[in-house]
Amino acid sequence: MDHRPPLTRHVSIPSSISSSSSGSMPLSRRSLFLGAAAFGVPAILAGCGSDAPSTAPGGSSSGGLGTVTLGSNASDEVPKKSLEAQIKAFTQGAVKVNTVDHNTFQENINRYLRGTPDDVFTWFAGYRMQFFAEQGLALDISDVWRDIGGDFSQAFKDQSTGVDGKQYFVPSTYYPWAVFYRKSVWEEKGYQPPKTLDELTALAKKMKADGLIPIAFADKDGWPAMGTFDILNMRTNGYDFHVQLMQGKQSWTDPKVRQVFDTWRGLMEYHQPAALGRTWQEAAQSLAQKKTGMYLLGMFVAQQFPEADRDDLDFFTFPEINPAYGTDSIDAPIDGYMVSAKAKNVDGAKALIKLLAQASSQNIATGLDPGTLASNSKADTSGYSALQKRGAELVSQAKHIAQFLDRDTRPDFASTVMIPSLQSFVGKPDEIDPLLASIEKQKATIFR
Amino acid sequence: MTAKTRRYSARDVTVLVAGLGVAIVVNVGLVWGPTLASVGLSATDWNGIGPIEWIGGRNYEDLAGTYPPFWSAVRNNVLWLAFLGVVATPFGLFCAVLLDRRLRMSRVYQSALYMPVVLSLAVVGFIAQLVFSSDYGVLNAVSGLHVDWLGDRAVNIWVVMVAAGWRHVGYVMIIYLAGLKAVDPALKEAAAIDGANERQAFFRVVFPTLRPVNVIVLVITVIEALRAFDIVYAINKGRNGLELLSVLVTENIVGEASRIGFGSAIAVILLVISLGFIVTYLSQLFRGEER
């Protein structure tokens, strides 16, 4: 199952780069590799994995809209099954699904969309969608939204809208970020969910005294710390500032940003040490094994809990820092579908995404994949697990929904600037000013 | 008259064009074309979709001035080269010399040292994680330490170089072993008769005769150091202290980032460093032939 934010997944190493050595000749192959890195490898990657078309059973072309191709990054078992189940209901035509390894799909999205993309493809809401829409690679689907618009809240519509005010995306499922904990541990020790930063600090102190590591933390993969930064920034400076910062319109050397890192540094002593050598799975395990007290992560943290322990998992939203903003914003990344600008079967594609946006489709998805929530407000939530119900409640109370740092900003800024910078902060929390100056300088080279 | 001075028949020309032409096309298309394209692209700003914008040397300025992973990568590549050249390669030679003395069970040692060479560096990376992970690693569990071997920037590059060196030693050893077997025993005998002790016999007599092997080993060491990629990528994607130039190229170009111009600039720097070694090596080689 895959809800991890995208820059992040385990990567299969391109076999063309893996090791093979021979005597004295390959120096000249070095330069060949440089060229291959620039041109060849992506194409090879784009080519692999797309050879598994499967025609959806029941999707016979009786409906007259012909065959619709769907490029899917749902390569993990649960999402794949979920998608297959959803498209079974498509009766207006046949659907051909091309599943590509999740990470490979993302890394090659540029080349994929410029080459011969499928009619419909899986993608993410927010800036990451707008980025590609702006380049003219996505099809305007405002007409679809005229039909389905009533099923979605304004927040979801906003996240599906490009900078030109047209819609390019239909939401499917999403998952909120919050602070997770084991109810049994908290009941035993008498802990209460904190409402303010001071209460959080007091709680963490108490946990430390009780022999627990208060806050589980891992950032080996580079992205989990983005979640901590997001929530601290939104709690301290509000959603609007956060979004402007992500879009490169605010300065990283602003005292407001400094304050975020100061707060984070204050909490660092309660974080699990040696975070840069740990994966989020290992940190989640430490929560499951009752070695740590709480863990700020997406709802997919439940994956790391054995089935029997899942009911023991609960969460609270990150506590208030600045009363002006309270707890009005959270990260809740939305996954969904877009139609490529080069789609061959536009009518079929629109009919398909309309189906995927339906409550009935999303009921299937949330039933099969308990780490997700339906975006369609008419979806049936009675089948939700306790955790899903709490998740839906959390999102409905939030005034602003952010998409997670690597979906709210330019992909190059997120991966080549923010990942190394946040890791550097986690390694040396005391060197804030030079770090922020460096981020600001690098930002200037990217947002030109 | 023209018929008499024409040295090549039509068939010769065809063979020449087919034989040489294919080689030239392949060479230009696969080696020189991409290389020059990389150099060209390194002076542009291009995200892979939109128009290509010519920006001159700005990518290089940004690299040197504002991109912290760059200097870290240069440092790591140099360290890597020094470590393989100064520690791992001599140690491989040392092992080869010992094994050449027909110790008991030398086959066992030989196999044990050579074993890692059959593993790809990516696999070595996974093995390194099993050993060095701070929570679950064998090393911390056995020794009772709490060192974050792979997460702490001050330590992790050394740990990874040891893991890479583990593989390199076996590789170098097997090459030297083959070289040593080929050294004429009469040379050593002659040295012994002349009164050379073992150390002198090795450094003055045996080692110089290994010159062709030394060149091969040197080239392999340089290649291994410059193309190091998979081991750090397997461990943490080459971030947080494990930056290497090859990883930065991939990170910037292949990933969703698509900073193709910027990534090409890093590739060009890697090319220049490689060229330095290639030119030195080739000029040595040609000078040797002239003699």
pLDDT number for residue A63: 63
What tokens does A427 get?
């390694």
Contact A34 B249 (CB under 8 A): yes
Q: Which tokens is A13 given?
A: 């190493």
Mean pLDDT calculated for residue range B104-124: 88
Does the structure show a pLDDT above 70 at B38?
Answer: yes
Q: Give the up-direction half-sphere exposure of residue B100: CA atoms within 13 A in the CB hemisphere.
A: 20
CB-nearest partner of A427 from B30, B240, B263: B240
Using the Cβ of B66 and the Cβ atoms of chain A, whether some distance falls under 8 Å is answered with yes
For residue B4, the model assigns a pLDDT of 57
> What's residue B6's pLDDT?
64
Is there a shared CATH topology between the A54-174+334-378 domain and the A177-331+405-446 domain?
yes
Indicate the pTM of the whole model: 0.82
The average confidence (pLDDT) of chain B is: 89
The more confidently predicted of residues B86 and A367 is: B86
What class, spelled out in words, does domain A54-174+334-378 have in CATH?
A: alpha beta
Kindly state which CATH superfamily the domain B58-290 is placed in.
MetI-like (1.10.3720.10)
Chain B environment of A45 (Cβ under 8 Å): 254
Q: What is the pLDDT of residue A244?
A: 94
Query: CA dihedral defined by A427, A318, A161, B254, rounded to 10 degrees?
Result: 20
Residue ranges covered by each domain of chain A? 54-174+334-378, 177-331+405-446
What stretches in chain A show pLDDT beneath 70?
Answer: 1-63
Using the 8-state DSSP alphabet, how is residue B238 labeled? T
Cβ contact B165:B92 at 8 Å: no
Whether B240 and chain A come into contact, CB under 8 Å, resolves to yes
Which residues of chain B neighbour A26 with C-beta distances below 8 Å? Answer: 223
Q: What secondary structure, in 3-state letters, does A52-71 show?
A: CCEECCCCCHHHCCCEEEEE
pLDDT of residue A38: 41
The alpha carbon dihedral of A390, A392, A398, A400 has a sign of positive
Instruction: Give the whole-angstrom CA distance, residue B191 versus residue B204.
Output: 9
Taking an 8 Å cut-off on Cβ atoms, the answer to whether A28 and B31 are in contact is yes
A306-332 CB burial, b ≥16 within 10 A, e <16: eeeeeebbbbbbbbbbeeebebbbbbb
CA distance B236 to chain A (A): 6
CATH, domain A177-331+405-446, list 3.40.50.2300, 3.40.190.10, 3.40.50.410, 3.30.470.30? 3.40.190.10
The pLDDT score that the predictor gives to residue A155 is: 82
Among candidates B121, B239, B277 on the partner chain, residue whose Cβ is nearest the Cβ of A419: B239
Beta-carbon pairs below 8 A across chains A and B? 199
Q: What are the residue ranges spanned by the domains of chain B?
A: 2-35, 58-290
> Which of A416, A435, A443 should one mutate to test binding to chain B, selecting the residue with the greatest count of B CBs within 10 A?
A416
Alpha-carbon span A360 to A380, nearest angstrom: 8
Residues of A in contact with B153 (CB under 8 A): 276, 427
pLDDT at A25: 35
